[in-house]
Chain A
Amino acid sequence: MRTFNYRRRKLVDQLMRGLSALATGCAVIPLIAIIGYVLTIGSGAMSWSFFTDVYQPPSNAPEATADAPAVAYDPNDPFANLTVEPEAGTTGSTEDVTNVYNASPRGGVLHGILGTLTIAGIGLLFALPIGIFAGIYLSEFRNERFATIVRFCCDVLSGSPSIVAGVTIYVLVVLQTQQFSAVAGSMALAILMIPIVTRTTEEMLKLVPETMREAARGLGAPTWYSTFTVVLPAALPGIVTGVMLAFARGAGETAPLILTVLGSNIISTDIFKPMAALPLLTYRYTESPYPGENTQAWGAAFVLMMLVLLMNILVRVATRKSGGNSR
């Protein structure tokens, strides 16, 4: 009674296994290509001044026109010396990147690097207390009904598009104060960081064995004492990795910053004023009509990617070492 379709089954098996390997190859190649392009072209934009200098207007920019007046730098108007504010989508080079006409970049992105560290750093300051304490609440009082609500809200925050965080801070802060500012950007980033910090803290605290809490309780220690002296220190390495991931996520975000910090061409130390940021520079230089600035875009992308990838790799290496026996 065995109608034996052995050959066909073997063939299907081999075909489908081959296809899924092929699919993996096909998908991984362009993704690696992206990293490869950024690393090679971006590193080509590297020079000493790239890290030590700030924005310089293109050397052989077209002559000043009514649209693009060449103005001297005015500290009250950080964008005055940006010769042209390109209209998104209509400019930007679609030519081959190897066309190096006017391609030699001038100036650097120091202001962007400092700005990103500042904005994301302050964002983390906003996010940490909320995230860590909410995480402690979710872990140590995990069965309360309110915990479910908090967890749900975290999921809402982490799932909503980053532009929504930008719109929120734009309306609630920028419009209210009539001022784009680095702090506003930090607040927008904090909205995106909070769910990451909260959920990692929760997960890490939950991994601390119950026996440790019981041992502390057995000695009569109050919950708060055992949490701060026993549970939290035990989970600290894991929480730190979560914080690093949150920082990396915030540092790479662009859309919320467009609506909140605006950008700047100089190193700004006033966090209540617009500030530069690497992702913003990457975006604006990409849309720039000047090939020199397009090259800078690759350079800024390179630095940004290094920052984000290094954070992620560090986290992996740290967790791999400690999580080796996790299966």
Chain B
Amino acid sequence: MAVRISIRTADYDVEGQMAQQSTPPQWSTGKSPLRHGDVPFRAGTVALASAVVLLVFAVAWMLYTSSQEARTAFGWDLLFGSTWNPVETELNPVSFGGWPAVRGTLLSALIALIIAAPLAVAIGIYLAELCPPVLRTPLSFLVELLAAVPSVIYGVWGVFVFVPFFSSAVAEPLSATVGAIVPWFAGPIATGRGLIVTGIILALMILPTIASLTRDVLRLVPNTQREAMLAIGATRWETIWLAVIPYSRAGIIGAIMLGLGRALGETMAATMLVGNTQRISESLFAPATTAASLVANELTNSVSSLHESALISVAFALFGITLFLNFGARLLIWFVERNTRGGRS
């Protein structure tokens, strides 16, 4: 997470700094070799900045070439084929159909989004607009701190605390009653791990991200817009709902998209909580898998170069979709910021 940090400019007394160099510095004598420092300086910074660009190309190129073998062999089946079977057995031929992982990724991220987006936007609104001033700083601090907690810790808590609780308090009663009719909630609850617990933990993880970004875009709304609404007798909520939120709509959607990107790509929490099975079950309580956890679990133990290539294809797809989401989100947020800075009111 980026942090807003500012420097106390008053610390740096420009006059004072410069006054120390009251004796003519050597570069002012004209032909000093110091003069020529600017060319290598620029070249050096450009070179290292190019390293960043090269890195992105290296990642993309590696994903592209290393996934080639599987992509030519299976094509779109890599994403939409229903059987993932790296080892040939009498009954099943080798096949790399990534649908169980793609489905698991989409469903868990969707569950996370359905839970987290409204809650996080509400938190963002509360922090930016409604919170008493004494609570604002500590709460914002807490939210940003939570965004920094490593995902493996969410995983530990999920495995030891949340899954047992959820299995006995929600999953078992629900599967015993509703589960008979609605296949989504069908039992049995074996380990308790599955898409729904993964989705809930992912929701907790992306909540702080979306909430603090939402708060940031709401803070960008000029106060004049709020005052104009209040001055015609709008309530606080009407001001928020009819002026503040419409104003920052694009930025809020951007924040949610960034959260979605994070949920789709999250590896550890999913690996620890999803159950890691390639079997597709309709029940959200049953174990499943996700793209990221599939790669984390199998890549170092891949049994063939085709297997490896298939896993890299899955990573490639993941890279592609998060790239797309991030790009879209940043575009939206950038759009809002530009409008805010350039606007008259």
Contact = CB atoms under 8 A, between A and B. Distances in A.
Direct contact of A and B (CB under 8 A): yes
Interface of A: 9-10, 12-13, 16-17, 19-21, 23-24, 26-28, 30-35, 37-38, 41, 88-90, 92-97, 129-130, 133-134, 136-138, 140-141, 146-147, 149-150, 153-157, 159-168, 170-172, 180, 191, 194-196, 198-200, 203-204, 207-209, 211-212, 215-216, 219-225, 227, 230, 234-235, 237-238, 241-242, 245, 248-249, 251-255, 258-259, 262, 279, 282-283, 286-287, 294, 297-298, 301, 304-305, 308-309, 312-313, 315-316, 319, 322-326
A31 B118 CA distance: 16
A324 B7 CA distance: 9
A153 B50 CA distance: 10
23 contacts: A13-B237, A23-B118, A28-B139, A34-B149, A137-B46, A153-B56, A156-B327, A160-B326, A180-B300, A198-B52, A207-B7, A208-B9, A211-B14, A220-B28, A223-B41, A223-B42, A282-B156, A283-B271, A286-B272, A301-B152, A301-B153, A308-B148, A322-B11
Contacts of A27: 119-120, 123, 204, 207, 211
A319 B236 contact: no
Contacts of A94: 159, 163-164, 167, 191-192
B275 interface: yes
Contacts of B208: 31
B6 A163 contact: no
A199 B52 CA distance: 12
B126 A21 contact: yes
Interface string B207-248: 110010000000000000000000000011110110000000
Contacts of B274: 89
A21 B207 CA distance: 15
A75 to B, nearest CB: 21
Contacts of A160: 59, 265, 319, 322-323, 326
B299 interface: yes
A319 B5 contact: yes
Nearest to A302: B153
Given A28-B142, A34-B204, A322-B6, 6 more contacts: A24-B126, A34-B149, A204-B7, A245-B3, A255-B296, A259-B296
B5 A204 contact: yes
B89 interface: no
A194 B52 CA distance: 8
B135 to A, nearest CB: 9
A89 B45 contact: no
Interface string B111-139: 00000001110110111001100000001
A225 B34 contact: yes
Nearest to A159: B326
Contacts of A254: 150-152, 267-268
B5, B15, B272, B299: residue with the most chain A Cβ atoms closer than 10 Å: B5
Contacts of B326: 155-156, 159-160
Contact of B156 (A137, A225, A297): A297
Given A88-B297, A89-B275, A322-B8, A162 B265 contact: yes
Contact of B52 (A34, A157, A171, A279): A157
Contact of A227 (B5, B41, B49, B192): B41
Contacts of A13: 235-238
Contacts of B149: 34-35, 252, 305, 308-309
Interface of B: 1-9, 11-12, 14-15, 17-18, 21, 25, 27-28, 34-35, 37-38, 40-42, 44-53, 55-56, 58-59, 62-63, 66, 118-120, 122-123, 125-127, 130-131, 139, 141-146, 148-157, 159-161, 163-164, 167, 191-193, 204, 207-208, 211, 235-238, 240-241, 258, 261, 264-268, 271-272, 274-277, 287, 292, 295-297, 299-300, 311-312, 315, 318-319, 322-323, 325-327, 330
Contacts of A24: 122-123, 126-127, 131, 139
A134 B322 contact: no
Contacts of A305: 149-150, 153
Nearest to A260: B300
B130 A155 contact: no
Given A164-B315, A322-B6, A23 B122 contact: yes
Nearest to B8: A322
Contacts of A149: 53
Contacts of B41: 222-224, 227
Contact of A156 (B160, B163, B192, B323): B323
Given A150-B52, A191-B55, A279 B130 contact: no
